Amino acid sequence: MPIFEYHCPDCRTDFEELRTLAKRDDIAVCPNCKSRRTERKVSTFSASGFGNSGGSSCVPGGGFT
């Protein structure tokens, strides 16, 4: 099971959650302030599974709101 990284903008805490791919976009509750308004960070792990022809590991992220 992969580990996903999340960020809590309320208290600016980064934390990790162990969960399945299907649940990666589920709400992650901040362990510090219990906020549910967290956002998932783009992890290099999840990006490595799609196509190796690009040659670049640069993953655009953060564009979604």
- Which residues are at the interface with Zn ion (CB under 5 A)? 8, 10-11, 13, 30, 32-33, 35
- Neighbour-count burial of 38, counting CB atoms closer than 10 A to its CB (0-12 exposed, 13-18 middle, 19+ buried): buried
Name 32's Cβ contacts closer than 8 Å, sequence gap at least 6: 8, 11, 13, 15
Nearest-approach distance from CB 46 to Zn ion, in angstroms:
22
Nearer to Zn ion, 41 or 47 (CB): 41
CB atoms < 10 A from the CB of 40, how many? 18
Nearest-approach distance from CB 3 to Zn ion, in angstroms:
18
Nearer to Zn ion, 26 or 59 (CB): 26
Nearer to Zn ion, 32 or 48 (CB): 32
